[in-house]
Each structure stands twice: as structure tokens, then as C-alpha cells.
Structure 1
Amino acid sequence: MPPAPRSPTAVYPLRLADLIYPEGHPRYCETGPVFAFLVDHPDGLVLVDTGIGPPHQLIDRLYKPVRYPLDEALAGLGLAPKDVRLIINTHLHFDHCGGNQFFPGRPLLVQRREHEAAGAPGYTLPHWVEFSGANYRLLDGDSELMPGLRVLPTRHTPGHQSVVVDTDNGAVVIAGQVTETAADFEAEQEESSIQKLKSFRPVRVFFSHDHATWPYG
């Protein structure tokens, strides 16, 4: 089967896992997806988040993930990990940075506050953040990384960031985990991070843990 066609400056969701939320989580017993996103930009391919990563005893016991390998997701677009120019982590929880280790030497763009927070006990899996070849580029607030590709701090963790991509059809937002679902994004109209993202008048908003997008469609 030939790879799916790609268009310039486009955003492609990559489903990397399904997991079951454990006891104590607001979505306890629900099954939810884990998405990364590929931005096909004229200046290079950008990967937003890298998924859960390899098998891990604690993660697998708590979340019972079903993994869909990142290299296979990229192959569906006719690509390989070596084609990715840089990685943006919305934040450094295990299900967003687990695949960073497969990109040694590649720039990993994260907010400075998030990188500092990730050093706290219990915040994440430290060896999935700091590994041989880790090449973090620390950001301080809003940043334009390439023409029409910017990140801005939003809620969820101390240094969570969302991504805004200009496309021919309008702005596309990769919200990350600013809300768990598209329905929450719709319901929480007055929250400052949501207002900030909506100020770009996005034609589509993607979420890390929801198949649905906003506006619905």
C-alpha cells in the first residue's frame, strides 16, 4: 500500500497508544488514546510529543497500555524517525516524553519551567527525560520556532506548552493536555489558557488524549 499523501505545512495526528486510567485518576477505568503529532513544515518535520515509550513494569501495571510503535506511525506517512528535524514536548509526563530516547542528539524543545519540574520525585520517569544524547533546548515563554510555528505556555503542568501551526486553511492548535477532551475545551470557555488558544481563531484543535477535535467535526 502506498504511503498516505502529505501536504505542505500540515498536522498529522499519530495514535501511539491506548491506556486504561488507573484508580485515583479523574478518568478512572476509562480507556483513552495517546497521540503525538507530526507537523510537516517547509523548514523540516517537527514531532510534537513522543508517546509512552518502551515497556515499563510500573507503567504497564497501572495503565495497561497497548502501544502502536512510533516508527510504524511515521511509516504510514512514508517517513522514518531519522526524517524528524526536532521534537517539541508539550510537557514531560511519561506518556508525552517516553519516546524522546529514540532521538539522541535531536533538539528537544521544552519550557525551562517544565524541565525543572521534571526533576521532582514522582513527576515523571527520570531516565525517559535524561538519557545519553538528550539535547534539550529550554524555552522561556512564547516562542516562534519557525515561521508560522509557535509555542505558548498553557495550563496543566508548571511548564506545559501548546503549539500553534499556521496552515493554508488557518491556524491549527495542538493543545496537548490543556484539557483532557474536546468537550472540556468547549465547556471551559472562560479559562485563560483556552481563551489564549482560541484567540488564534483555530480551524482545528487537537488533544493528546481525545479522538475528538474542536470544533467538532
Structure 2
Amino acid sequence: MIYRFSVGRLECVVVSDGQPGPPFEPPLEEFFTPESGVPDDVLRDASHGRSTLTCGYNCLFVSTPDGTAVIDTGLGASFLGYGEYIEPLVGQLDGGMASAGLSRADLAAVVFTHLHQDHSRGAIWSGELTFPAATAFAHASEVAFWSGSVDLPSAQPHLEAARETIRLFGDKLRPFEYDAEILPGVHALSAPGHTPGHSAILLQSQGERLLCVGDTFYDPLQLTNPAWATPWDLDAPASISTRRQLLSRAADEQLLIHAYHLPFPGLGHVQRNGSAYTWHPVDVPDNG
């Protein structure tokens, strides 16, 4: 699945690495748990009978004056980490790139919102760099965290991919700080909490803007309930603060949002509804 659009002069295309559908959609109760602050009865009442979450892996390619970049890279091929069922349902980035006329060899940059495996493994899954000519970018705190001693249980499934990403890119991995312009028109915004260096990415060109929120939220339930955390938020209070700040800005400034895990292509707007928000996906025809 691919979807083309533009942000000013920045030509963009969302390429799906996969989007498992029924009966393989993950249960909501795995994402919102009593341990993460969402009691079972609260989840039941809020979900209105819905029991699963549609989890897409929406990788965003952006043509910049310095070359084409991809923001996050999916799970990659031959992935079995969620069970054998997942392998044929993800790792579709390569085929999507071909359909979009994108070459792995020509990609100039990889920008990571963070280094969880579902965002980074697509760049290193084969044991070699998927995009051999690309420079990689990740926040300095993200690189430092995964390079150090990691003992948090919820981080363990991601540790191997994160460290392999850091190792394979080597001196081609450029740590950045928040508020930096990574590439022309591509800016890093503060969004910590999900991981220590989790970053939002703001595209700006000719007065048009797009906010890539990474894992700031997985499901519209976190817009109607911004205080809901997940088991994968390493610092839940910080992740909640980040979510509130980014949603407030997106609503006030009417920003187009790219949400990595929402149904393809993950593009939409948010509107304020009291202390909560509602998600309004962009009506996109199949223009692949």
C-alpha cells in the first residue's frame, strides 16, 4: 500500500510495511492494561464493544533538497517476534518502495523517531544496511540509552534491533538534539517518554506543515483518553505529558498528522473536545 501527497515542495509517500487485519489485529487489552493505568472496566466502557486495535506500520518517505529520506522503517522481513502468524503480514516495505518507484540504493537518509524494533528493524533486518548509502538520524538520548545498560523489562524485546541499528550504521548514525533541522524542511521536536529520546518530526515547506508523532499514540482511544499509557512507555508520566502537548499544538495549529500505527496511511487531523481530542482521518482515495 502506498499513498502520495505533498507538504509544500516536499513530495511525500507513505509506504506500508504491513497492517495485520482480522483475525490478527492485536487485542486492546495488550496495549491498555491495569499496570499501565487503564483498569479493565474502564477499557471496556471506553471501547464501546471494540476489542482489537488496528496496528499499521506507516513509513513516510520525504523528498528533500538533500535527497529522499524515510521516517521509520517498519519491522522488516522474516520477523517472528510476535509469533509465526506475523511473518507474512509485515516486512512489505521493499515491495511498496518498488511500487512507488523508490530505490533502496538511492535513499539518502533514515530518520528514526525512536529505536524500537518496529521502527528500526526494517533498516537492518538482513544483518546488513537495507539502505546502504543512507545517513541515519536518531536523538542523542535515544542512542545513549540503547548503547548503555538496559534492564527495563519492557525494553528487552527491542534491545537487539536497537543495538544492531547503532552498530551497523556506525559513524553514519548522526545523533541530533531537539529543535534541530535534520534535513532541509525536516525538524526534530521534543517528545520523550515512550523512550528517552522519542522524537516527533515536523515537516515544513511553503507554509504547509506535517507533524509525525511516532508512538505518541497507538489508537484514537488515547486521544479521547490522553492520560492512558501503554506497557511500552518507558516513562509513562513523560509520555502522557508529551501526548497532551503535541495534541494541543496539533489541534490549535490545525496540523496535518502522520500517525505511524493508525490505519493506513495514518494521516489526519485532531480536534479539541474539552480536555480530550478526536481523530479525523484524511479521506484518501487509492492512488497507489
TM-score (norm 2): 0.63
Matched, 1:114 2:142: yes
1:50-81 Cα offsets, whole Å, 9 max, x none, are: 10022134x14177251252222222222111
Structure-1 residue corresponding to 2:93: 70
Aligned-pair distance for 1:123? 5.2
Matched, 1:154 2:182: no
Contact in 1 for aligned 2:181/2:188 (Cα 8 Å): yes
Give 1:171-182 correspondences, 5 Å limit. 171-182=209-220
Contact in 1 for aligned 2:3/2:14 (Cα 8 Å): no
Q: Distance in 1 between matches of 2:247 and 2:52?
A: 30
Matched, 1:25 2:48: no
Q: Distance in 1 between matches of 2:208 and 2:82?
A: 39
- SS for the counterpart of 1:14 is strand
Unaligned runs of 5+ in 1: none
Aligned-pair distance for 1:131? 4.4
Q: Which has the higher strand share?
A: 1
Q: 103-112 or 15-24, which moves further after superposition?
A: 15-24
Aligned-pair distance for 1:202? 4.5
Task: Say which of 179, 191, 197 aligns to 1:142.
Answer: 179
Structure-1 residue corresponding to 2:201: 163
1:73-93 Cα offsets, whole Å, 9 max, x none, are: 222222111221101011111
Aligned-pair distance for 1:96? 0.2
Contact in 1 for aligned 2:74/2:121 (Cα 8 Å): yes
Task: Say which of 66, 83, 86 aligns to 1:61.
Answer: 83
Task: Say which of 111, 115, 130 aligns to 1:88.
Answer: 111
Q: Which has the larger radius of gyration?
A: 2
Question: Compared with structure 1, are the counterparts of its residues 70 and 192 closer, same or farther at alpha carbon in structure 2 (3 Å cutoff)?
Answer: closer
Provide runs of 4+ in structure 1 moved above 3 Å. Answer: 3-8, 19-24, 27-31, 130-134, 185-194, 196-200
Q: Distance in 1 between matches of 2:195 and 2:120?
A: 14
Q: Distance in 2 between matches of 1:210 and 1:6?
A: 17
Aligned-pair distance for 1:46? 1.1
- SS for the counterpart of 2:19 is strand
1:96-125 Cα offsets, whole Å, 9 max, x none, are: 001122124521100111112224251514
Identity of aligned residues (%): 21
Structure-1 residue corresponding to 2:14: 13
Q: Which has the higher helix share?
A: 2
Count residues with an aligned counterpart: 214
Q: Distance in 2 between matches of 1:30 and 1:174?
A: 20
TM-score (norm 1): 0.81
Aligned-pair distance for 1:153? 2.2
Question: Which amino acid is 2:269 matched to?
Answer: W
- SS for the counterpart of 1:76 is helix
- SS for the counterpart of 1:126 is helix
Contact in 2 for aligned 1:4/1:78 (Cα 8 Å): no
Q: Distance in 2 between matches of 1:123 and 1:75?
A: 30
Q: Distance in 2 between matches of 1:202 and 1:75?
A: 33
